[in-house]
Amino acid sequence: MAEARARGRPRGFDEGRALDAAVRLFRAEGYDGAPVDRLCREMRVPRATLYDLFGGKEGLFLAAVARYADTRIAPVLAALGPSGTLRDDLAAFYDAVLALATADPEAPGCLVSCALADAAGSNTGFRAELAARYAAMEGRIAARLMAAGWDVQAATPPQAAAALAASIARGLMLAARSGTEAAQLRPTAEAAVGALLALHPEGAPGHG
Amino acid sequence: MAEARARGRPRGFDEGRALDAAVRLFRAEGYDGAPVDRLCREMRVPRATLYDLFGGKEGLFLAAVARYADTRIAPVLAALGPSGTLRDDLAAFYDAVLALATADPEAPGCLVSCALADAAGSNTGFRAELAARYAAMEGRIAARLMAAGWDVQAATPPQAAAALAASIARGLMLAARSGTEAAQLRPTAEAAVGALLALHPEGAPGHG
DNA sequence: TCTATTTCAGAACATTCGTTCCGTAAATTG
DNA sequence: CAATTTACGGAACGAATGTTCTGAAATAGA
């Protein structure tokens, strides 16, 4: 099943690793703060090829966001399971959030909730992308809550609880951005789990 | 007690209103996205005067953040009271958060949690500023919780609950940034109040 | 080997950026 | 009125920006 060799000159870089480098730079410097020149150098992608592949800086940024979602956010959502009790899965979720937020000590925080959120101010396309990413995360959390028997007609419906859970995750990302260590954030994450479970109509924790 | 008139030519602008314009532009476009030229024009401040007053773009940005904190964030914190039950004050607090987040429909969100958080990636001074602003808010919330009799030695100490409450506020700011209307955010804010109160060791709501 | 196709390396482009500087305008002090 | 002090308006600077272009390099098919 090996891909047939492309026709022209082969690329001297791996697209996935190149996008990883773009993610790193955009996350550290922001959209406006990351010059195309540096992006090309650290991605090891020639300018001409970059424009052929992504159309321009905006396209590259969106591609980097997609790469980030696929490789960094997806595992965080996967921690939701269901693979244990709701309490266990929520705790694992916030552990993964903290791990992601503090993964790069030089530039903590989240590409979506820092760089993309900032760039969304003036660029409507970026704002739509931000809304879509947020909606996806909230939908995934709501599904997990409903799998735990969270009644859609509860005083706090699963969608509202999911939006709250997602807001907390974003808030933690920002706290990490300010330099707060993961260890200092853990009590907040634990409080978050307890507070969310308290909204559960089934009352007692421990539901699959 | 009227101020003695200054010695030289009087300024043709009001510094407070000028900073308000800077806040507007920085919030909409971000730090890197707001050119000094446009800042001068919309602030109605000459370039030379701007550099005399603030030293440069970084100084102006920090001054804008301070102005924003004094005029926009302070009222939000003031809503915490204590002026009613803890539930009432927390509800008023999140109402004020939503009002601030959606104040400018063209560029929703928070100057601190969007522009400053993004710029904090590469600028250590900005990161320290971000940390200080966050710490101030959390301290203020923790004080309110302790005024409600929240035991420092509780399972969830007031500092952790305050950090959680602040994280939720930041998450709501980001949700607004993505274009979500205040009306759609209100259920999340209500859920936040309920979830936080559930952590209160005194158990029953309604404490002053 | 010759052609077609794709990628590469770097120069070149017009803008835009943050900052500095200079001469002029408008006020207070003596 | 002179002298001083502060603010204004705009030109000017070098550096950096996103993008485009040109020709050479490297591969596959004929």
ipTM for the predicted complex:
0.92
Q: What is the mean pLDDT of residues A114-134?
A: 97
- Cβ–Cβ contact A118 with B under 8 A: yes
Q: Phi/psi class of residue A203: alpha, beta or left (left: φ > 0; alpha: ψ in -120 to 50)? A: left
Domain for residue B107, yes or no?
Answer: yes
CA–CA distances in Å: residue A3 to residues A7, A54, A174, B158, B195: 12, 22, 42, 58, 53
pLDDT of A10 reads 86
- Work out if A5's Cβ lies within 7 angstroms of strand C: no
Structural domain total, chain A:
1
pLDDT of B145 reads 98
Distance CA B88, CA B205 (A): 10
pLDDT of B5 reads 67
Test mutation, B24, B61, B177, chain A, max A CBs within 10 A: B177
pLDDT of B8 reads 81
Domain for residue A37, yes or no?
Answer: no
- Cβ–Cβ contact A66 with B under 8 A: no
- Work out if A35's Cβ lies within 7 angstroms of strand D: yes
pLDDT of B22 reads 98
Binning pLDDT at 50, 70 and 90, where does residue A133 land? very high
pLDDT tens-place string over residues A69-88 = 999 999 999 999 899 999 99
Chain B nearest-CA distance from A121, in A, is: 5
Q: What is the CATH number of the domain that holds A106?
A: 1.10.357
Q: What's the CA B9/C1' D8 distance, rounded, in angstroms?
A: 9
- Work out if B198's Cβ lies within 7 angstroms of strand D: no
Chain B nearest-CA distance from A25, in A, is: 10
pLDDT of A81 reads 85
Q: What is the mean pLDDT of residues A35-63?
A: 96
Binning pLDDT at 50, 70 and 90, where does residue A4 land? low
Domain for residue B8, yes or no?
Answer: no
Q: Do A199 and B191 touch (CB under 8 A)?
A: yes
Domain for residue B144, yes or no?
Answer: yes
Q: What's the CA B43/C1' C17 distance, rounded, in angstroms?
A: 18
Q: What is the mean pLDDT of residues A162-181?
A: 98
Q: What's the CA B16/C1' C21 distance, rounded, in angstroms?
A: 27
Which of A12-16, A91-95, A115-119 is least confident?
A12-16
> Which member of A115, A164, A177 has the closest CB to residue B192?
A164
Domain extent at residue A182: 68-198
Domain for residue A44, yes or no?
Answer: no
Chain A nearest-CA distance from B100, in A, is: 15
Which residues have a Cβ under 8 Å from the Cβ of B175 and sit 6 or more positions away?
A134, A163, A166, A167, A170, B101, B185, B188
> Which member of B134, B180, B191 has the closest CB to residue A161?
B191
Q: pLDDT by residue for chain B (208 residues), tens digit each?
A: 334 567 888 888 999 999 999 999 999 999 999 999 999 999 999 999 999 999 999 999 999 999 999 999 999 999 998 999 999 999 999 999 999 999 999 889 999 999 999 999 999 999 999 999 999 999 999 999 999 999 999 999 999 999 999 999 999 999 999 999 999 999 999 999 999 999 998 754 444 4
Distance CA A99, CA A91 (A): 12
Binning pLDDT at 50, 70 and 90, where does residue A5 land? low
B-chain residues near A161 (CB < 8 A): 191
CB < 7 A to strand C: residues 165-204, chain B: none
A-chain residues near B28 (CB < 8 A): 121-122
Cis peptide bond N-terminal to A201, omega within 30: no
pLDDT surpassing 80 at residue A164: yes
pLDDT surpassing 80 at residue A204: no
Question: Above pLDDT 90, what percent of chain A?
Answer: 89
Chain A nearest-CA distance from B114, in A, is: 5
- Cβ–Cβ contact A32 with B under 8 A: yes
Chain A nearest-CA distance from B163, in A, is: 6
CA–CA distances in Å: residue B87 to residues A102, A119, B77, B79, B83: 33, 35, 15, 12, 11
pLDDT of A11 reads 87
- Cβ–Cβ contact A123 with B under 8 A: no
Domain for residue B206, yes or no?
Answer: no
> Which member of A161, A164, A194 has the closest CB to residue B156?
A194
pLDDT surpassing 80 at residue A3: no
- Work out if B2's Cβ lies within 7 angstroms of strand C: no
pLDDT surpassing 50 at residue A93: yes
Which chain D nucleotides are covered by protein, judged by CB under 7 A? 4-11, 16-23, 25-29
Quick one: which residue's CA is nearest to D27's C1'? A9
Domain for residue B5, yes or no?
Answer: no
- Work out if A35's Cβ lies within 7 angstroms of strand C: no
Domain for residue B53, yes or no?
Answer: no
Angle between helices B57-68 and B124-147 (to 10 degrees): 10
Q: How far is CA B200 from the centre of its chain?
A: 25
Of A142, A135, A182, nearest to A158 by C-alpha is A142
> Which member of A127, A174, A179 has the closest CB to residue B179?
A127
